[in-house]
Amino acid sequence: MTFPLISVALGGALGAVLRFVLASALMRDGFPVAILTVNVLGSFSMGLAAVLLGKAGLANVQPFLLTGVLGGFTTFSAFSLETLTLIERGTVGQAVFYVCLSVGLSLVAVALGLFIARSLL
């Protein structure tokens, strides 16, 4: 149990640094192209890695790469993989519900957090 935790922690640190470097390099005023790029690249990489690691029999690398590096790079990649997994299972209704709930509740949560923080200041 200890090795996977360390592996995820190290991968997460690496992913967060990669996100910061890429987002800093792409930062522009206006439309959030930097984070959009991070989310799309992370999702693409999650799809590739999930299949390639599975086929190569490298399940022991998944905590480091999928949960750690890509999770630290962007949690949107995990969200994307979970959504497509629901669709592939034939539960399209659940996938749509999951997307709507995730995006909707996340927007409400950030709005609530902003409201509370602003009211405290």
Which tokens is 20 given?
């910061």
pTM greater than the 0.75 cutoff: yes
Q: H or E stretch including 114? A: helix 92-120
> Is residue 76's pLDDT more than 90?
no
Please tell me the distance from the alpha carbon of residue 30 to that of residue 42, in angstroms, as a whole number. Answer: 22
Cα 10–14–19 angle (5° rounding)? 145
113 is in an annotated binding site: no
**Tens digit of each residue's pLDDT (9 = 90 or more) over 9-48:** 999 999 999 999 998 999 888 777 888 899 899 999 998 9
The rounded Cα 36 to chain-centroid distance in angstroms is 12
Helix (H, G, I), strand (E, B) or coil at 58: coil
Alpha helix (H) residue ranges in 27-74: 33-55, 62, 71-73
Per the annotation, does 74 bind a ligand?
A: yes
